[in-house]
Structure 1
Amino acid sequence: MLYTNALRQLDMQDISIVLLLIENRSAKRVSEILNLSQSSISYSLKKLRHCFDDKLFESSEGAMQPTARVLAMKPYLQNIMQCINQCAIEGAGQSSVPRQWNITAPEYFEILMLPTLLQQVRSTGRNWSLSMSRLGKDLPINELLASDIDVCFGFGPGYHQRHPLLNYRSLNEDAFVCLSSVPKHQPKTALDIDEFCETPQIFPTPWLSEKNMVDGWLEKQSRRRTILTRANSYHAGVNILLAVPALIVVPEKIVATLNVSPKIKMLKPPAGFPTFTLDMIWSRERNIHSDFHQLEALIEKIKI
């Protein structure tokens, strides 16, 4: 039984709205996350204030500041959302139709994390499928906000433009190495910037972009490298090295997966060469869904 009849007015959208307002402090942002009009947000907030006999949020310095009452309510509202989602998950577990996760990621993720993630999904008995798409030049911000893409993996720090309605988390740090089949590089352990720029290079395109962080770093030095050809994957790029004397730049942690020939020398890049992080990116609206937190927990367990 409900404590008061007024509580009968509430629905799950009202609870979603109040939780997102607590996190974002902005009715406009919440309307964008949920794809609702601001008048719908206002109407829901009016119902909530009536039901709980409290302002819940007060305008202060251009933001909606939560009252002590609504902050005290927050864990109970989160529990309601988790329980409802769990009911849906239990039902989905009895269905032959898997829960499909739409994931956008570069080849780096597919090589180092996807196999382990699939293994964990299988071992936990979840009826999930993972639908992968290749990361493009820009983050798929609109698709993330519209929930057409559940989670995206990109590079940092600062490589992609940040958006206020998205969450970002760094999962892994890595550096680059140079793999070279150029004969004069064989006695060396490292390249200087002149040697690096003058050597014909294989440009791997593990995500769809005309440039990458290496080119951005070179532009800051007023330098450019010589691109011999482009390859669709790191594996294809390394294979090309066996046919022509050239160089390819790859993340250090994937070298062990590439079956590199003894004829190819691994070299340190020029001093000051960029490093990077692999970042997980998702819409803040996902934070109220318990099944997403289950996916997030599996991803965070992966150590590379």
Structure 2
Amino acid sequence: MSSKEVADLDLNLLVALHALLHDRHVSLAAKRLGMSQPAMSRALARLREVFDDALFVRVKGKMEPTARARAIAAKVDELLAEIQGLVRPTGFDPKTAVGTIRIAAPDIVSYMVVPPLIRRLAVESPGLDLEIVRWEAQWREHLESGTVDLTIGMPTGDEPNIYARPLIDNRWACVLREGHPALRTPWDIEHFAALDHLVITLGNANVGPVDMAMTKLGITRRIALRLPYPALSPLLVAETDLVLTTTSWLARKLGRHVGLVIRPPPFSLPIVRVPMVWHERSHRDPKQQWIRDLLARIADEINASEQAASSSS
């Protein structure tokens, strides 16, 4: 075979030859590869031209490989296996994997996800360590550079090289201290709007889902305190007359420790779906895929628990 003929022998022809050697039938080989029968016939004709051999002959109505075809069959199998090894990701075994997974997330999301994630890693992948990184406005740059592997809780639009997957469904609850004056008045949107409110701020967003929903109703509230520390907010509510509208999960988790009263919002609020976000650079990495799937399973459990708690309240 000349150098030109080697150059003319593309990978698709070798794949077709492999299928023909396996099935010994043009139609079956075509079906295996999702090709039409005429296309497979053309591939066989090209193979015969390149190898200068019939490759297959009919014997009693069947296609039988020639001596040349039998001689190259094992080499074709070996070559295609090596090529598949080049293009397929390296296998990932969580039991033996080592390294560090870096996740950027607000503290409230970390509080929800990290405890079950640590427990699962200890059982399923004990060699993997976890590092939670403070979320910053430059999270896109951190993903691009590989400073973090993924982020949780950062909504994203349709951006190039960025992937997002819904993770946690956040429902809402209002928390007040025990003995708050508002507990002695009607719990409606007018009284609610007149209270002093604490708002958790993340990133550069000035208006959150609560205020957007109230604006649609033509009502505004007084925000007496903006705070970038979600985990601190229930402690402040317990010591003041501030009212916090937050996720029902945080309200229940922290409220039980500081003696807060939990009430549903006096108006309809949409469920906020918190995504996990990652970059194209790690999209096909087996370890990253495994971590994302593990987080998705953990989130499914959190969502199911939240839905059950919401239905029973």
Measured against the shorter chain, the TM-score band is: 0.5 to 0.7
* Secondary structure of the structure 2 residue equivalent to 1:260: helix
Deviation at residue 199 of structure 1 after TM alignment? 0.8
Separation in 1 of the partners of 2:281 and 2:11? 24
Asked if residue 253 in structure 1 is aligned to residue 249 in structure 2, the reply is: yes
TM-score (norm 1): 0.62
Aligned to 1:26: none
Once the two structures are superposed, what CA deviation does each residue of 1:32-55 show, in whole Å capped at 9, x if it has no partner? xxxxxxxxxxxxxxx9x985268x
Deviation at residue 78 of structure 1 after TM alignment? 7.4
Whose helix fraction is larger, Structure 1's or Structure 2's? 2
Separation in 2 of the partners of 1:227 and 1:109? 23
Change (3 A) 1:81 1:217: farther
Contact (CA 8 Å) 1:102, 1:131: kept in 2 or not?
yes
Aligned to 1:114: 114
Aligned to 1:147: 146
1:44-55 mapped onto 2 (5 Å cutoff): 51-52=10-11
Deviation at residue 183 of structure 1 after TM alignment? 3.0
Asked if residue 184 in structure 1 is aligned to residue 143 in structure 2, the reply is: no
* Secondary structure of the structure 1 residue equivalent to 2:110: helix
Gaps of 5+ in 1: 7-46, 55-66, 70-74
Separation in 2 of the partners of 1:254 and 1:99? 31
RMSD value over aligned CA atoms? Answer: 3.7
Change (3 A) 1:104 1:146: same
Of 76, 79, 84, the match for 2:90? 84
Once the two structures are superposed, what CA deviation does each residue of 1:185-240 show, in whole Å capped at 9, x if it has no partner? 2256x8433222221112234x3445333233344445432222234433421111
Once the two structures are superposed, what CA deviation does each residue of 1:129-156 show, in whole Å capped at 9, x if it has no partner? 22222334x572233233332111125x
Separation in 1 of the partners of 2:229 and 2:192? 21
Greater RCO, CA 8 A, separation 6+: 1
Of 172, 191, 194, the match for 2:190? 194
Contact (CA 8 Å) 2:173, 2:246: kept in 1 or not?
yes
TM-score (norm 2): 0.61
Contact (CA 8 Å) 1:82, 1:289: kept in 2 or not?
no
Of 291, 295, 302, the match for 2:291? 295
Asked if residue 165 in structure 1 is aligned to residue 158 in structure 2, the reply is: no
Aligned to 1:233: 229
Separation in 2 of the partners of 1:171 and 1:50? 47
Contact (CA 8 Å) 2:200, 2:233: kept in 1 or not?
yes
Contact (CA 8 Å) 1:134, 1:208: kept in 2 or not?
no
Contact (CA 8 Å) 2:105, 2:152: kept in 1 or not?
yes
Asked if residue 123 in structure 1 is aligned to residue 120 in structure 2, the reply is: no
Change (3 A) 1:261 1:84: closer
Change (3 A) 1:106 1:262: closer
Gaps of 5+ in 2: 14-32, 36-80, 303-313
The alignment of Structure 1 onto Structure 2 pairs a total of residues equal to: 230
